[in-house]
Each structure stands twice: as structure tokens, then as C-alpha cells.
Amino acid sequence: MDYFRKMCGCGRDGCRPGLLGLLPRPDVSETLWSFIGALCGIGVVAWLCDRVAAPGDGFVLIGSFGASAVLAYGAPGAPFSQPRNLLGGHVLSALVGVFVGRNLGVPGMPGAETAAAAWLAPAVAVAAAIALMHLTDTLHPPGGATALIAVTGSPQIQALGYKYAVVPVAAGAAALLVVALLVNNIPRGRRYPRHWW
């Protein structure tokens, strides 16, 4: 019966404050700095994709960067937002996604030999990425999306193979990190990162 009781949430008398790591409602200043950080971070990555990247070099704006922006700029003190998690989670997940795609035969991916069920490769990629992030202490929830994109993404992304882990993933995550370092440390009450390693 305790199993189903857990699904009801904490309620009025269940969980102690802070037990789930719930964040207090941010004030206007915190909200403004989160907005500025996300605007600048995603803006820089999008600009790199549009203006700096040469056609065919693989620098594309992937959706998981949006989720990373929520963490890096909206919750910069959260454990999943720290540099090790931001960079490591994305890069390791990208490598896992490409590996799974190649070995479970995702159509269109270079090196794919078999035709596994369409549901198997995405499921294995995300599950394996989570496991690897746990083992390396780099858990970053958007990393799951990065692994999924490697398997289900456009032919342009799949054609990159393992280069996907470098460009766009590592380069984009590094750009988000640089902006997080610059913007998150401007206000007095905000500090980023809490730790590097």
C-alpha cells in the first residue's frame, strides 16, 4: 500500500520542507536575470549556428539546449546545472546516442547494420545515457534528450556520427556555460558555479 501512497505526493503533512529540493518562488530580480541569461545563452548558440558555422559542419541548434538553459539560468544553484553536469551530461549522452544508433541499426545512420524496432534504439539510448550519467556523476536531465536526438534526429544530425558529440553538442554546451558564467555572476545574490568538479 505504501507504493501507491507515494504517488499521492507529499500533501499537507507528508514531506518536510526541502526534502524534495523544492525551490522557493523567485523574486522579480531572479526572474529577470534568468530571462537575460536564457536570452543571451540561446541567442549565442543560435547565432553560432546561423552566422559562424559553415554549411555542412554540423552546428545545429538542438532542442535539449533549451532545457539546459532552464537549468543553467533558471536554477543555477541546482546540482544538475553545474559545469560538470552541463558539459559531461551532454557529451556522454551524445556518445551513447550515436553508439546505440549505429549498433541497433537506426536507418540512415552511418555504420548501421541491422534494422531494430523503431522503439528499441530510442529507449536504449535514453536509458543508457541516464545510467552512464549516474555512474559518472554528471546527471543532466537534458542529456536524455541529447541521446534521443542522436537516434531520432534529422539525417543531417545522424550523418555526423560521433562528431555530433563535439559539434553541435560540446560546442553548444560550452557556449551555454560561458554565458552562464558571465551572466549568473552579475547580480550580488547569485553565484555560478557552486562547484566545477
Q: For 8-31, how does the pLDDT look when each residue is reduced to its tens digit (9 = 90+)?
A: 766 655 555 554 556 678 899 999
The Cα–Cα gap between 64 and 144 comes to 8
Q: What is the pLDDT of residue 19?
A: 45
What grid cell was written down for 82?
553545474
Tell me: pLDDT of 113 over 70.
Answer: no
The Cα–Cα gap between 185 and 87 comes to 19
Identify the band that residue 110 occupies on the pLDDT scale cut at 50, 70 and 90: low
Question: Each residue of 127-150: pLDDT tens digit?
Answer: 999 999 999 999 999 999 999 999
- Which residue type is seen at 98? V
Q: What is the pLDDT of residue 4?
A: 76
pTM of the shown model: 0.86
Q: What is the mean pLDDT of residues 119-124?
A: 91
Q: What is the pLDDT of residue 15?
A: 58
What grid cell was written down for 61?
541548434
Q: What is the mean pLDDT of residues 170-176?
A: 97
* Nearest C-alpha neighbor of 35 from the set 8, 3, 1, 69: 69
Q: What is the pLDDT of residue 3?
A: 75
Identify the band that residue 119 occupies on the pLDDT scale cut at 50, 70 and 90: confident
Question: Each residue of 47-83: pLDDT tens digit?
Answer: 998 887 766 666 789 999 999 999 999 999 999 999 9
Residues with Cβ within 8 Å of 182's Cβ and at least 6 positions away in sequence, in order, are 40
The Cα–Cα gap between 195 and 100 comes to 31
The Cα–Cα gap between 37 and 179 comes to 7
Tell me: pLDDT of 165 over 60.
Answer: yes
Q: What is the pLDDT of residue 122?
A: 93
The Cα–Cα gap between 184 and 73 comes to 7
The mean-pLDDT minimum among 5-9, 121-125, 176-180, 184-188 falls in: 5-9
The Cα–Cα gap between 72 and 83 comes to 9
- Count of positions (residues) in the chain: 197
